[in-house]
Amino acid sequence: MRKKSVHPFQSTDNDVKKEVNTENLMTNLSNSYASDLLPSKDDKDLTKCFLLQVVNILLHYIEKTFDVKSKILDFHHPHQLLEGHPRYFNQLSSGLDVIGLAGEWLTATANTNMFTYEIAPVFTVMETILLKKMCEIIGWGETEADGIFSPGGSISNLYGILVARYKQYPEIRTKGMRALPCIVLFVSEQGHYSVKKAAAILGIGTDNVIEVKCDERGKMIPAELEKNVLQAKRKGQTPFCVTATAGSTVFGAFDPLHNIADICEMHKLWMHVDAAWGGGLLLSRDHSYKLSGIERANSVTWNPHKLMGVPLQCSAILIREKGLLGACNQMGAGYLFQPDKLYNVDFDTGDKAIQCGRHVDIFKLWLMWKARGTYGFEAQINRYMELAKYFYKVLKKKDNFKLVFDAEPEFTNVCFWYFPPRLKHIPKGFERDQELQKIAPKIKAQMIEEGTAMISYQPCGDKVNFFRMVFSNPATRQRDVDYLIDEIQRLGKDL
């Protein structure tokens, strides 16, 4: 492939760009930023050029892999890989998940497995570095924390509760739940259903998950938590864990973490924070205060595949106390985790996992972080927050929309009803609700059939079916928000 040292896109003339042919596109990208790619800028040619260069590198790798003359691997020790990268996260740029996509293509091409360092040396080291980074952002910089990437937020939450139980009762591993007292855990009624699922899987039982009442905004009420803990104790149950939510699924609510941490400390309960959805907000200096207190948690779930826009799957479970995760899960299989290896086997992280083989989820995150830096993530997340605020303000002015909770959104979730004209004058009550609950499903069905937009709806408690708008798509602009509102009115006005 011919290479030029001059960047062909320095001209600002769009027509000139358009005429650049494919071969010219395959040139030096060193003057481009991630923020020049789709959808940040509408530069299809540059995006294509970038991805074709990625593919070129991958094709070269594939050829080399099948060449018997090449070395099967070029081994480096973990400490060698850790050296020499002081600017891992120092780049000021912002971009888009085309980078994440390139990362995923590369991961697929490498087709390796996270269980031991010898099999995935670079990826294992990247995981160690990024887990440390994430722990620092949470506020655990002083301690030696730990963690692992798992196949999703539900599994990460399961890890949190699993380690919580092990910390209190290490005998659980060998003796099982029958050796334990009747342990119970607490989660808000707005918490994610994966907490109950975990309780069912872990043999705790969903009856032993106590749902704590929320305020009208969907936040756990600390006084209710305390009341529930005391009640459980009086009933002879043994509280061991509270799962707080930072960014609830439907309302985007943040539980008051400091108040919950106080209660956990007083009653010696493990505090797990499910920040699968809200964790990304820690990267925004304007908004991270909403997770204040998360540094007091014992474990945190944080999914970069949500707010940070990393391709699915990319979820981390972070544990404040180092060593617990390994102690809880290791089985020391002789065929994988030989102690007599030639390198520092601390990097054989596989035995911390509840899996054996484990997909490489780290590289795309590492590449995105390197391409855009923390500032890049921050800028994008702040933009989502601005969009949510804009959306809220527009809806508030419209007669035929009603917000489920009427206050500026704390997160990018905005929940609302649409009232077709014929319902507007029916007084609030059972009769109106009966009609209103049919509106959202009908509008959505219409949208799906026509393929014009996609928005979620659900009932919640005494609230009949309402729409939930969420901003986490980097391609979304104000005009798309306006379009959605018009579309709902168009499809709903005669219902």
Stretch that binds its own copies, among 79-87, 264-272, 289-297, 330-338 (CB under 8 A): 330-338
Read off the DSSP letter of residue 495. Answer: -
206 binds its own copies (CB under 8 A): yes
Residues 93 and 35: beta-carbon distance below 8 Å: yes
> Which is closer to its own copies, CB of 140 or CB of 418?
418
Question: Cα dist. 331→163, 169, 172, 276, 305 in Å?
Answer: 15, 18, 14, 28, 29
Q: Per this entry, what is the length of the chain?
A: 495
CB of 176 to its own copies, least distance (A): 3
> Which is closer to its own copies, CB of 246 or CB of 263?
246
Give yes or no for a cis peptide into 39 (omega within 30° of 0).
Answer: yes
Stretch that binds its own copies, among 279-287, 372-380, 402-410, 457-465 (CB under 8 A): 457-465
Strands (E) located in 101-208 = 146-150, 183-188
Q: How far apart are CA 102 and CA 364, in angstroms?
A: 7
CB of 139 to its own copies, least distance (A): 26
Site map (CB under 8 A) of its own copies, residues 257-296, x = contact: ----------------------------------------
CB of 259 to its own copies, least distance (A): 26
Structure tokens, 336:
């994988």
> Which is closer to its own copies, CB of 136 or CB of 171?
171
Contacts to its own copies from residues 23-42, by CB under 8 A: 38-39, 42
User: Which amino acid is present at 58?
Assistant: L
CB of 105 to its own copies, least distance (A): 5
Stretch that binds its own copies, among 138-146, 285-293, 356-364, 399-407 (CB under 8 A): 356-364
> Which is closer to its own copies, CB of 321 or CB of 480?
480
SS3 144: coil
Helices and strands per DSSP (H, E), number in the chain:
16, 11
> Which is closer to its own copies, CB of 47 or CB of 128?
47
316 binds its own copies (CB under 8 A): no
Site map (CB under 8 A) of its own copies, residues 399-438, x = contact: ---------------------------------------x
Contacts to its own copies from residues 167-196, by CB under 8 A: 172-180, 182, 192-194, 196
CB of 338 to its own copies, least distance (A): 6
Strands (E) located in 269-425 = 270-274, 299-302, 315-319, 401-403, 413-418
> Which is closer to its own copies, CB of 32 or CB of 262?
32
Residues 467 and 488: beta-carbon distance below 8 Å: yes
488 binds its own copies (CB under 8 A): no
User: Which amino acid is present at 458?
Assistant: Q
Contacts to its own copies from residues 239-258, by CB under 8 A: 249-250
Q: Which of 289, 357, 422, 493 binds its own copies (CB under 8 A)?
A: 357
Site map (CB under 8 A) of its own copies, residues 63-92, x = contact: x-xx-x--xxxxx-----------------
Alpha helices in 139-221 (DSSP H): 153-168, 172-175, 194-201
235 binds its own copies (CB under 8 A): no
Q: How far apart are CA 190 and CA 193, in angstroms?
A: 9
Residue with tokens 């670079």: 122
Burial class of residue 235, CB neighbours in 10 A (0-12, 13-18, 19+) = exposed
Structure tokens, 391:
């959306």
Give yes or no for a cis peptide into 10 (omega within 30° of 0).
Answer: no
Structure tokens, 327:
């102690």
202 binds its own copies (CB under 8 A): yes
Nearest residue to 150 (alpha-carbon basis) of 403, 9, 360: 360
- Count of residues of this chain found to bind its own copies when the rule CB under 8 A is applied: 107
